Structure 1
Amino acid sequence: MMNKPALDQAFKRAAAAHKAGNLAEAKAGFERIIKAVPNMAQARFQLARILLEADDAKGAVIHLEAARKSAPKQPPVWQLSAIALGVLGDTARIDKFNAELRAAPIPATVKSDIAAKMKSDRPAEFGGAPKAEMDALIAALVRRDGDQAFDIAQRLDTAHPGNALILNALATAYELKGDATAADVIFRKAIRTDPYAATVRTNYARYLSEREQFLPASQHLERATQLQPDNPKLLIMWAVALCEIKQARQAEEAAHKAIELSGGDPEAKLALARAQSLNQKPDAAVALFNELVAANACMPRALIQRANHYQHSGDFEASNTDYLAALAQKPDMTELFYQIAVGRKFAADDPVIPILEDRAKAASPDGIDVNIAFALSKIYEDTKQYDRVFTYLNAANATLDEAWNPDRYGNFENHVHEIALKVDLQKVAANSPNRANPILVTGLPRSGTTLTEQILAAHSTMTGVGEALWSRAALHPVMASKAAADWTENDLTAALNTLGSEYERMARQDFPNAGRMVDKALGNHEQIGLLRAAMPDARIVVLKRDPRDNLLSIYKNRFAAGSLKYNTDMRALAHYYSRFLKWLDYWQDLWPDSFHVLDYDKLTADPEGEARKLLAYCDLPWEDGVLDFHKSDNSVRTLSVYQVRQPIYRSSVRSWERYADELAPLFDALKEFGVPLPD
């Protein structure tokens, strides 16, 4: 307990730290004050401001709820509460707040001002900025003239500070100028300034989607649709983002509503067809795709989406026909050549080959297109022209050059280790109320994870869900909401319990009629102990493969920009593989037998023997049909789309031997990082 002089001094120090921009020191100072004097509304108010700046709206809302109870007559507490609730987007809490606001002992004018600012259908407010200048700003943005837009937006923000729409334009100007970091910061500031402006959230969601950050984009679009529930354009955008994160059931619902509101907008139909394809409704999806193609609507995207559907379903001939038709309409979409290449095995006389070779010969002085380079390297391997493969592989990877940062990854490792040691994970598991029992298949890309998922999904009691993102989304509050040092044992235990229940909620939302699920999520080897503590009935299967074959296969394939970062450089590949092995050692030491290691090379040598061990670990009775997975009509949406339509084969084992000379830098790096190699 602090006496009043000590309390005053502590408050002054924390406030000074906040003013100086030292948020960590200020946050710690106000937290100490609140621990000593829990009902001090002023400290909770200041801490809520800091938490909002740190994008912790939920934490801010909790402190402001307490502040309203301690100081119900203070208008600033109610005003900041409205902002924090808007940023959080929790409709139940907003409804409760509105009821409290009506009875609040604050001036009626303040109440009406807060209520007006919480309305989503109010006219656009430019904070007194001249219409002519706003028109000029919008015109510059439409022209994509980043420099002029920035000059106007910065001038307007200085003259009319605190206006969300001006900040929204300033963020877009930063984006056009190529400053993604500043754009992101200003977008977030715009949302904090007016969290009830659907336009701001929608623009930020667009920005995130273009950078393939579909999970946060979908969250902002969900909030935007809550603010404007009858806006079909927003519903279409949300449906598309939901498809990207495999939330197929929600996507289907949003697309249906958009069709109803728009009277049959083709874009809404395209979103619905894609959602139905994801949601295992192939007949409905194809019917809609066919309707759009026949009407020449949403082209060539309708053709491409139909091709994707066919490819994922195993109809490679139909997918190739559609991809080529789309290329005839838009020849610069070279990524479709790569899709064609990974979707089938090529013969030397395939008519696509000379098309690609002509494209390669006509390459610009800056270099060959990476999609064509990856496609040709795959084709030359299919046709056994091994001496030509690395000419294109090295060129493609050099162009991408992702630049993995091992120091940053080391910080991430330390963060996970610190969290894992905050509690007794096995004790958390023993007392967990969660009964979710998925089988989580993980490992490095190209290590056999898709094959394993398909074997398990072929079991009569299992439902394969592909690469769901539920574990990533559920883990995020544990991994990113605060520094490891800030977790208490009780808080972390509660967060792990929430992780498990949130995973199950998302899984049941997307697959309400499924039994037990097999979920393939690359990267979960980094959080094995946390996932087992959160879901003690889950089973975690980690794939291992000869590092020479595994890393060669990664190097040979193109991944989404920024998704791996280590995949374009042989030394980085070796370094990351060494860290993968250390993760397995770490979790085995901390929680023995918390996962099952499945060796890909042993699986391909003895499919039944290894599959029996796998099913036994997962508490599944043996069924002969699991080895006939390639006859299944399950949709597959990975780079292994062609391979898993074949029976188990061993032709990729020791494939590195064909390229021993070209892979010498990889072998040297594996030795440098102490990675043991099989005989």
Structure 2
Amino acid sequence: MSTNNPPASQSLTIAQALELANAHWNAGQAAQAEQLCLRILQVAPLQADALNLLGMMMLAYGKLDMALDYISKASQSPDAPAAIHSNLAELYRQKGLLVNAEQAARRAVKQEPTFVAAWTNLGIILQEAGKFDASLECLNCVTSLQPDNAEAHNNLANTYKLLGDMNNAKHSYQRALALRPDYAVVHSNLAVLLNDLGQIDEAVASAKRAIDINPQLADAYLNLAQIELSRMRYAEAQHWVNSIFRFSPQHVGALTAQAQLMVASQRYQEAVTSTRQALTIAPNSANTHKTLGSALHALGQHAEAEQAYLRAAELPGTVAEEALVARATLLLEIGDKDAATAAFEQALARFPGSHRVIAARCDSKLYREGDPDIAVMEAALAGEPRAPIHEQMMLHFSLGKAYLDITDSDRAFAHLHRGNAFKRASFSYDAAQTSTWMRDIAATLTPALLDRFKGAGEDSKRPIFIIGMPRSGTTLIEQILASHPDVYGAGELQALGQAVMRAGSFPYELANWSNNDLAQIAGDYLGQINRLAPDALRVIDKLPGNFLYAGLIPLLLPDARIIHCRRDPVDTCLSCYSKNFAGEQLFAYQLDELGQFYRDYQMLMAQLRQILPSDQFIEVDYEAVVDDLEGQARRLIDFIDLPWNDACLTFHETRRMIRTASVAQVRQPIYTSSKGRWHQHATHLAPLLAELGMEQA
């Protein structure tokens, strides 16, 4: 090879060799292209174009480190063109080295101010670094240079969305689709935006349109899965995840989405396995680390969960804020309030003025008049552009709590009504169907049925069921009992309901079950709780909704204990209405439906009270515990057949994970301020009071 013009058949100049190498590469003849580039580097080791082409080949082969090495060397040439710096920026971005990526991209645009690809790279890099305003400036530059570039409008829309400017984001997506109607990625991105705007049916249609155009666009399936997950339609969400696995069995996003579904259904160990599998493929996936943190968090592996959240927060992507909030919440749940407060402050230092962080810490504090957090949240709701629907909902619930704290009833309920309306619109719930089901349960569970199956289950004194309405004191009772050294508080388990559902339709198939069927359900349930705490003498399952299955418990586990928590009906319902529950309390977001559910619950418990064995069933009133903590605590410890322990009286000092809406309350000594508090808010509770057959006070 020569730098001079050679005889035609004997040698090539570097320029000719580069031209031929590019021709081979473009023709799919990779080996020939690579050999020519390597021959050029033997003559000119720092030849930038040859190094760049080799780098792009290595990238195509999936050899990111080798690609970065070649193109980094190419960029060191004094005459390296802007395209090389732009390529280097993209490689740094893929490695998660966003500072280096930004520097390289800025060199590219400085060298060639009209280079669209470089401006695009810089805009996306800044977007991933959380520098959304700077990203917007870059991507607006791209659309001004190429106003008919559909990809540019899509990238611009993505940044507008991250800035919370939904109107401009929607306009930019629509502009991209006007330029290119079959742009599947934009239909998929628009689906996310429409979901955030609360236009769920339109969001689903947009994602399905993306799939029609490109049946292997994994992001569209993932977006559909997230939409269905957000409205608690888990079977539909799993369908879309499975659709990805059919053409991409190791897809990281699908493995992560599957893990999120596993967390939602309390299959936490399986979720850990799924996320760890994903991380072997993509170790720098921030969303996967965050999901791993959620699973470990639920398993009570606090230190590992915190590390996963911190790892997610330091990686590129858009989940850092969520991961930092999750870490602060974890610290709050394990009782380290000082560390939790510091963690929320650290999140605010990273994301100054974040209304998401400020709203998320509402349960960690008692608001006073003039609290600056209230002004921030009000401004977030009043300002433009409007926040996504799910953020507006969170802000309304947090402000409702804040105004309840400062006894401003009118403002509290203005926000609670809005927050509950947003939540209620996000899922389907048939109150009449639920009522019918509960009445069918009551009609099925008769003394004759209990006699027929007597002695059918499994003997074990370990399970303690705490049942009742949510917000009726179940967490308080669990915390008192779990302060005993021989008792493990497992929290709100779905294990009983899942075991029953695996056996058949309850209560409709119950009459056809055999003793063996009941023994199998009992064994299934015991297997799940035994894995949680193999050494504890007693294990508490405090899922309040297990009252639906309470009539089965003596048949399944004749030595188990059932504690029914009761509280003033209106105080209970008001407390439910003021909470944006993490779990499926579908009845709680509309006052009349809440009242109807409470009446049906009372009806079912009245039936169960007549048939549950007195040695297995006890009732405790929240107000009685508040008035006589020691007397009620001793009664409960005696009921579960354990010796007394004074730690049960200092339950607020017990360090254990508490993952319910009552986390802040049970970290305090007994207080009486929640007794009868509904009276001061009665004018806002008319539909509830009407359902409960009560008049306003």
Q: What interval of TM-score do these two structures reach, taking the shorter chain for normalisation?
A: 0.5 to 0.7
Task: Give the alignment partner of residue 506 of structure 1, picking from 522, 528, 531.
Answer: 528
Paired residue for 1:65?
none
Counterpart in the other structure of 1:546: 568
Measured at CA, do residues 573 and 293 of structure 1 come closer, stay the same or move farther in structure 2, by a change above 3 Å?
A: closer
* Runs of 5+ consecutive residues of structure 2 not aligned to the other structure: 1-179, 192-199, 212-217
Q: Is the 8 A contact 1:462 1:518 kept in 2?
A: yes
Question: Quick one: which amino acid aligns to residue 343 of structure 1?
Answer: S
8 Å Cα contact 2:222-2:253 kept in structure 1: no
Deviation of the 1:354 alpha carbon: 1.9
The AA in structure 2 aligned to 1:547 is P
Closer/same/farther in 2, CA of residues 177 and 232 from structure 1, 3 Å limit: closer
Matched, 1:466 2:491: yes
Query: 1:462·1:516 contact (CA, 8 Å) conserved in 2?
Result: yes
Sort the Cα spacing of 1:466 and 1:261 in 2 relative to 1 into closer, same or farther, 3 A.
Answer: same
Unaligned runs of 5+ in 1: 1-135, 148-173, 188-197
Q: Which secondary structure state, in structure 1, belongs to the residue aligned with residue 441 of structure 2?
A: helix
Looking at structure 2, the residues matched to 241 and 503 of structure 1 have their Cα atoms a distance apart, in angstroms, of 21
Structure-2 change in CA distance of 1:178 and 1:279 (3 Å): closer
CA distance in 1, matches of 2:269, 2:257: 15
More displaced stretch, 332-341 vs 441-450: 332-341
Q: 1:588 aligns with which of 601, 606, 609?
A: 609
User: Which one-letter code corresponds to 2:411 in the other structure?
Assistant: R
- Selected match of 1:455 from 467, 480, 483: 480
Using the size of structure 2 for normalisation, the TM-score is: 0.61
Partner of 1:378: 401
The amino acid that maps onto 2:374 is: I
Distance 1:598 1:470 in 2: 24
Alignment of 1:7-406 (within 5 A): 140=184, 143-144=187-188, 178=204, 208-214=228-234, 233-263=253-283, 265-295=285-315, 298-320=319-341, 322-323=343-344, 336-362=357-383, 369-386=392-409, 388-401=411-424, 405-406=430-431
* 1:302 partner SS: helix
1:624 aligns with 2:646: yes
Secondary structure in structure 2 of the residue aligned to 1:660: helix
Distance 1:398 1:465, change over 3 A: same
RMSD: 4.4
Change (3 A) 1:617 1:210: same
For the residue of structure 2 that corresponds to 1:463, the secondary structure is strand
* Matched residue SS, 1:369: helix
Structure 2: distance between partners of 1:378 and 1:441: 26
Corresponding letter in the other structure for 1:342: D
SS at match of 1:543: strand
The AA in structure 2 aligned to 1:278 is A
Q: For residues 361 and 324 of structure 1, do their structure 2 counterparts lie closer, same or farther at Cα, with a shift above 3 Å needed?
A: farther
Moved more, 136-145 or 650-659: 136-145
Q: In structure 2, what residue type is equivalent to 1:353?
A: I
Q: C-alpha separation between the residues in 1 aligned to 2:322 and 2:530? A: 30
Alpha carbons 1:441, 1:540 under 8 Å: kept: yes
Counterpart-to-counterpart distance in 2, 1:517 and 1:201: 40
Q: Over residues 564-617 of structure 1, what are the superposed CA-to-partner deviations in whole Å (9 max), with x where a residue is unaligned?
A: 343233333332222111111111223343522111010111011111111222
Matched, 1:576 2:597: yes
1:341–1:263 distance in 2 versus 1, CA, 3 Å:
closer
Which string of whole-angstrom CA distances, capped at 9 and with x for unpartnered residues, describes residues 12-36 of structure 1? xxxxxxxxxxxxxxxxxxxxxxxxx
What residue is the counterpart of 1:655 in the other structure? 677
State the partner residue of 1:8.
none
**In 2, Cα distance between equivalents of 1:607 and 1:502:** 35
Query: 1:317 & 1:440 partners in 2: Cα distance?
Result: 32
1:379-414 Cα deviation digits (max 9, x unpaired): 122234445333333343345456964421232124
Worse overlay, 630-639 or 339-348: 339-348
Work out which of the residue numbers 435, 456, 466 in structure 2 matches 1:441: 466
**Cα 1:462–1:325 shift into 2, 3 Å:** same
Q: Identify which range, 439-448 or 260-269, moves more after superposition.
A: 260-269
Deviation of 1:417 (Å): 4.0
* Structure 1 range deviating more: 626-635 or 269-278: 269-278
Indicate the SS of the match to 1:523: helix
Check whether the contact 1:437–1:535 (CA below 8 A) recurs between aligned residues. Answer: no
Paired letter, 1:527: Y
5 Å-filtered alignment, 1:555-574, equals 555-560=577-582, 563-574=584-595
Secondary structure of the residue aligned to 1:661 is helix
**How many Å apart are 1:286 and its aligned residue?**
2.5
User: Which letter does structure 1 place at the counterpart of 2:187?
Assistant: R
Moved more, 500-509 or 563-572: 563-572
In structure 2, what is the equivalent of residue 475 of structure 1? 500
Among all aligned residue pairs of Structure 1 and Structure 2, give the percentage whose two residues are the same amino acid: 26
1: CA distance, partners of 2:514 / 2:285 = 46
Q: Residues of 1 paired with 2:673 and 2:362: CA distance?
A: 18
Matched-pair contact (CA < 8 Å) for 2:588–2:594: yes
1:388 aligned partner, one-letter code: R
Structure 2 contact 490–532 (Cα < 8 Å) conserved: no
Give distance in 1, aligned partners of 2:660 and 2:510. Answer: 39
Q: What are the Cα deviations for residues 42-62 of structure 1, in whole angstroms up to 9, with x where unaligned?
A: xxxxxxxxxxxxxxxxxxxxx
Contact 2:225 2:241 in 1 (8 A): yes
Amino acid at match of 1:529: G
Quickly say closer, same or farther: Cα 1:201–1:438, change in 2 above 3 A. farther
Q: 1:289 touches 1:303 (CA, 8 Å); kept in 2? A: yes
Alpha-carbon distance in structure 2 between the residues aligned to 1:543 and 1:384: 27
The residue number in structure 1 matching 2:630 is: 608
* Contact preservation (8 Å) 2:258, 2:271: yes
Inter-CA distance 357–478: structure 2 relative to 1 (3 Å threshold):
same
Amino acid at match of 1:603: V
1:208 offset after TM fit, Å? 4.4
| TM-score, normalised via structure 1 length | 0.63
Q: Which has the larger radius of gyration?
A: 2
Give the aligned residue type for 2:669: P
What are the superposed Cα offsets for residues 123-163 of structure 1, whole Å, 9 maximum, x if unpaired? xxxxxxxxxxxxx999547624999xxxxxxxxxxxxxxxx
Aligned-pair CA distance for 1:634: 0.8
With over 3 angstroms needed to count, the CA separation of the structure-2 counterparts of 1:225 and 1:528, relative to structure 1, is farther
Could you say which residue in structure 1 is the equivalent of 2:110?
none
Distance change (3 Å), C-alpha of 1:283 and 1:559: closer
Counterpart contact for 1:401–1:569, Cα < 8 Å: yes
Residue in structure 1 matched with residue 176 of structure 2 by the alignment: none
Aligned to 1:156: none
* Bigger mean CA offset, 539-548 vs 591-600: 591-600
**Quick check: 205-214 or 406-415, which moved more?**
205-214
Q: What SS does the corresponding residue of 1:480 show, helix, strand or coil? A: coil
SS of corresponding position for 1:667: helix
1:524 aligns with 2:546: yes
Letter in 2 for 1:247: R
State the AA in 1 paired with 2:540.
V
| 1:303 CA displacement | 1.4
Mark the CA change 1:363 to 1:457 in structure 2 (over 3 Å): closer, same or farther: farther
Q: Is the contact made by 2:464 and 2:539 (CA closer than 8 Å) also made in structure 1?
A: yes
Q: In 2, Cα distance between the equivalents of 1:283 and 1:308?
A: 13
CA distance, structure 2, for counterparts of residue 355 and residue 199 of structure 1: 34
